[in-house]
Amino acid sequence: MKKTVLSSLALLLFSAVLTPAAIGAAPRRCVPNEIIVKFRGTAANIIERQLQLHDSAGNPNFLPLSYHLASLNKKYRLNRIKPLLKDFRSRQLNLEPLKGADGRFPAKKQKRILERLKRVPKIAKVPDLGNIYKIQLNCESRQSLEEALAEYRNNPDVEYAELNYIVSADSIPNDPLHADQWALSKISAEGAWSVYTGSSETVVAVLDTGVDYNHRDLRDNMWVNEAELNGAEGIDEDENGYVDDIYGYNFIYNNGDPFDDYGHGTYCSGIIAARGDNDLDITGICWNTRIMALKFMGLFGDGSTSDAVLAIYYAVENGADIISNSWSTADESLLLKDAVDYAHSQGVIIVASAGNDDTGLPRYPACYKNVISVAATDADDQRWPYSNYGDCVDIAAPGVDVLSLSAEGAFVGVSNNRYTTILSGTSTACPHIAGACALLLSANPLMTFDQVYSVLTRTADPISPGICLSNGRVNLSEAMHAVIPSRGYISFDSDYYARPGVVGMLLADWDLKNKGSQDATIMTSGGDLEKVILTERTSVLGVFTGTISTGSGEPFKEDRTVQVSSGEVITVIYFDANDGNGNPSATMDNALTDCEVPALLDVQVEAQNLVASIALTTNESTRAQVRYGPARGGPYTFVQENIVWANEHVIKLRFLLIDTVYYFVIDLIDAVGNKVTLDNNGLCYSFSTSAEFPGFQVPGVYPTIQAAIDDASEGDTIWIADGQYSGEGNFDIDFKGKAITVKSENGPENCIIDCQFKGRGFDFHNGEGEKSILDGIKIINGSVSGFGGGIRCTASSPTIINCIITGNSAGEYGGGMCNSYNSSPKLTNCTFSENSAESKLSALGSGGGMCNMVNSGPVLTNCTFSGNFANHSGAGMYNSENSNPILAKCTFTANTARHGGGMYNCYDSTPRLANCIFSGNLAEYGGAVKSSEATPVLINCTLSGNSAEMGGGIWNGWGGSAELANSILWDNSDSGGMDESAQINDAQGSKRSVIKYCCIRGWTGILGGIGNIGADPLFADPDTGDYHLKSAGWRWDSEHQQWLHDEMTSQCIDAGNPGSPLKGELLSVPGDPANMWGTNLRINMGSYGGTAEAGMPPHGWSLLADMTNDGIVDSKDFAVQAQYWMRTGNEQPGDLDRNGMADTADLALLTQDWLEDHNLEY
């Protein structure tokens, strides 16, 4: 059932479509109440400064901005503003010329980046992604959001503004299935492979649903981040801002595991780079290229534009040569365009699917400039009926019934076998072109985007006009021979060269294959003349490379050094004996020299608390870094960089020591590679930190909680004084992955975060672990349209202690708290009350108190869920998609939902509950608990006084069931009364529940199990919520905190599984150390069984060996022990001595009880 639902959803969302029924124009979708704004320089700088300092009231009012922009923020109730790419200017990759002496960046990655930069377009403009902000508004409707967008767009401080759109997925090798790959034959792949089969130095980033990096035909071709592979788990070894990103990154789960849980990304990767000639499965277009797995679309089949941009940025930063995008959106996004332009400016080639809408209308990113857009054609070169077409599409490639790889456990496409699947769509066509680009770059790494585009389109085989601009379908063989032609060509590897420096050249001439070497001539406008010997690449026949150094001084011919001065022209000439037509010819290329280092015009320093800001101004576009330390002249053990090309840089130095003088030097490099270190004429630049730092106190030292977190480092504690906190910096609080503690001074009732319905209290989304601690905070009035009104954890597992989450709401899931994508926070002594999850959509509005979804498993101890509401499912708690929370001593009271008033479980979730109480919960189905395709495990739990139309206690729907042990289900009611079916109801289509040693009102025995009874449990005072069991031996009185006696004894005392350990149950109470009034033989049923508050029966009340709980020891009990005889395992009913095996010792105990029960001697 689960797979059917998800598959149907995904077919509507992904570009790779299996059936005509799955095709259709996607509705215009966006993230609610959110816009993306790129501010102009001055406004962006002011906003950045305001976000760092915050005004004293914590309000998001940017007073120095223009009057009109401030008015807009107020009019549309600006809730939150934050940069899309945090610390963009300081977190980009540090290039080789600026690499510190510690060599902390891998040389291999640096080399790849530098090689890629050699093909950067001459006039490419580098977009400044640091001015882009994500803004949350409090709009009442979609119409008002559109109105706000229009007004922001018209503001002079705004460069552009847009919605945050939702995008969706759109030599002969010996591989056994190669013959079934009709597409490779169609594009003449074997002719290309006769020239070259590809290089492992070429990297293709696949932006998709992830990649099955363990697939046997892909694992040897995965891009590997060596620093993370060989480093410690949980540490960002290469300091690229992402932890444990060995094969790429997961922007949905926000972790380093981009495994493909859908199959789409693995399929695309197989077309590009399935390992060739390895006797396995299929053959990829580029046999040896590396796949960088970037997952930005999740299990629900879509992803946001902002996450796509983060993935593009990651690909650029980490050395990808090509980005393959088998997905699209109908919404034109300037944010996405900025990211595409940025990648283009860094020499990255972007390929995208045209879309599956059977239209000539544009889809994005396919229709942006500097993107190769791909249509899908069949084996007869006819357009696939659903492929988009027109002048916005550049080229066609096979896209119908194409065989490729399938991910483990995935279900996309028509399965061919365990390892392969068949799919159709422009998503299939796109990776053919991405693979072709990889093969061409493998042969000639200096090719620019324009050159690759030109080769692919002019060598394509003709197809019907109108499908694409080139009217052609890719011909890989012709393209490859155009890269290494008979008419040779020679190229420099850069347009500019510094002094000293290295000049690189590449010569390609198919007629020279196997020649080994070839001469070229270099001359300069200054009069130098040199001969260079180029060497043939061993892996690519007909391609030759070589280098020569530049130097200073007067020209000296034939000395193997090119003497140059700034502004000279360098020319390389190759004389071709055969231009392909039997005639001699000459080919040449030119470059310029730039030998002047950049100059520093101004430097300003501002130090505040433990942070210093260094502002630099240079005379030309540069990249910069600051090296600093406490000693003048070094060593400078700390480094911060700003590697965006700019004339102005602001570099933040954090985590400084108090009362310390710091000295620093500045490293600059220009676009050519001229670099200089500036040290203030040998004196070094310097600044001093404050003599005293009173600690991370809010509001004493820091105006907001966020401001304190921003400056804190690992192990710090932020103390929050009594008071109520609201405004910017006091909601949507981000721990930023830090292992710190945020703690109130005097508990949650005195320390309140009032979100004022502008957002949530805390957002854990940076992989926080158990050392990220939130302690003693009360969160109220949180409100979001999506997930987690009070707290949200995304791929994060913090520790939350002594907190109160009350009066918060979410439009979809988790009014109080939402945990998703492998989040397993630990919560102790927390209260969730009066939270709500409400939505007008029938499938949403779930988890009023807490929602756990997609492999999440929080651990809760002594937590309370009361008065929460969900208009669909799980008012107290909602568990979905293999989420398995563990609850101990938790209480669910007076929660209301349509399905599962206390708890709702679905889609392979298995929550485990021990010593929990459900009372007074209300629903239509399952007053306390409802499960569908899920099996909760309840041990020593009490469910009493819950009500529903169907199943007041537990109601199990399709594929659902429950496992119950030592539990009590009593006085739960439904429309039929309080009989057995009102306590637990396995409805039609459910699985059979397993019930052992439980007390169930109206028990008939029809549900089976062992040791179950139907006697009144005799609760102490259920009307006031006291579910202790009465006993004439001893009962704990929680109101007066003492042990006392009752006139009656509950039959649930000492009636639990005789093989279960007593756990925390007392063997004697403090007032009766000699057990004069009672003795304890077996664990009790109910929520206090196994705890120190379990009641103790009077002497002679129970029989250890009465395994059937029928009041006598007889042949039925011997039969039970025989059933478990010699089995090993915990809590077996026949294991009376509880040593893990039912054996002769247990038989002796059984026999003794049988004799005593029958007044016989042993």
Confirm if 903 and 876 have CB atoms less than 8 A apart. yes
Are the beta carbons of 144 and 8 closer than 8 angstroms? no
Q: Could you tell me the two tokens for 431?
A: 């990776």
**Alpha helix (H) ranges present in 470-530?**
476-483
Letter string b/e over residues 496-523, b meaning 16 or more CB atoms within 10 A of that residue's CB = bbbbebebbbbbbbbbbeeeeebebbbb
Backbone CA torsion sign across 407, 408, 411, 413: positive
Q: What span, in angstroms and rounded, lies between the C-alpha atoms of 579 and 750?
A: 85
Say how far apart CA 346 and CA 118 lie, in whole Å.
9
**Positive or negative CA dihedral for 991, 992, 994, 997?**
positive
Burial profile 648-680: b = 16 or more Cβ within 10 angstroms, e = fewer: bbbbbbeebeeeeebbbbbbbbbbbbbbbebbe
Name the CA dihedral angle for 1092, 1053, 994, 899, rounded to a multiple of 10 degrees. Answer: -70
The structure tokens listed for 256 are 């380093």
- In degrees and rounded to multiples of 5, residue 305 shows phi and psi of -60, -40
Residue with tokens 């990103």: 245
Cα separation, 425 vs 415, in Å, equals 16
User: Nearest CA to 849 among 817, 811, 819, 872?
Assistant: 817
- How many alpha carbons lie under 13 Å from residue 883 in its C-beta half-sphere? 30
CA-CA distance, 873 to 843, in Å (whole number)?
A: 9
Q: How would DSSP label each residue in 144-204?
A: HHHHHHHHHHT-TTEEEEEEEEEEE-------TTGGG-HHHHHTTHHHHHTT----TT-EE
d(CA 242, CA 239): 7
**Rounded distance, CA 283 to CA 277, Å?**
7
Beta strands in 456-583 (DSSP E): 461-462, 472-473, 489-492, 496-497, 501-508, 517-524, 529-536, 543-551, 561-563, 569-576
Q: Are 110 and 239 in contact (CB under 8 A)?
A: no
Residues 198 and 286: beta-carbon distance below 8 Å: yes
DSSP structure string for 36-64: EEEE-HHHHHHHHHHHHH--TT-----TT
> Are the C-beta atoms of residues 1081 and 1113 closer than 8 Å to each other?
no
* Beta strand 937-939 pairing with 963-965: parallel
Closest CA to 540 of 441, 415, 430: 441
What is the rounded CA–CA span in Å between residue 402 and residue 185?
A: 12
Q: Cα–Cα distance between 245 and 471 in angstroms, integer?
A: 41
CA distance 622 to 668: 6
Contact 478, 572 (CB under 8 A): no
In this structure, the strands spanning 638-653 and 611-629 are: antiparallel
CA dist 1131 and 965 (Å) reads: 10
Give the E-state strand segments of 4-114 in sequence order: 30-39, 80-83
Q: Which residues are catalytic?
A: 208, 264, 427
Cis status, amide bond into 1098, omega within 30 of 0? no
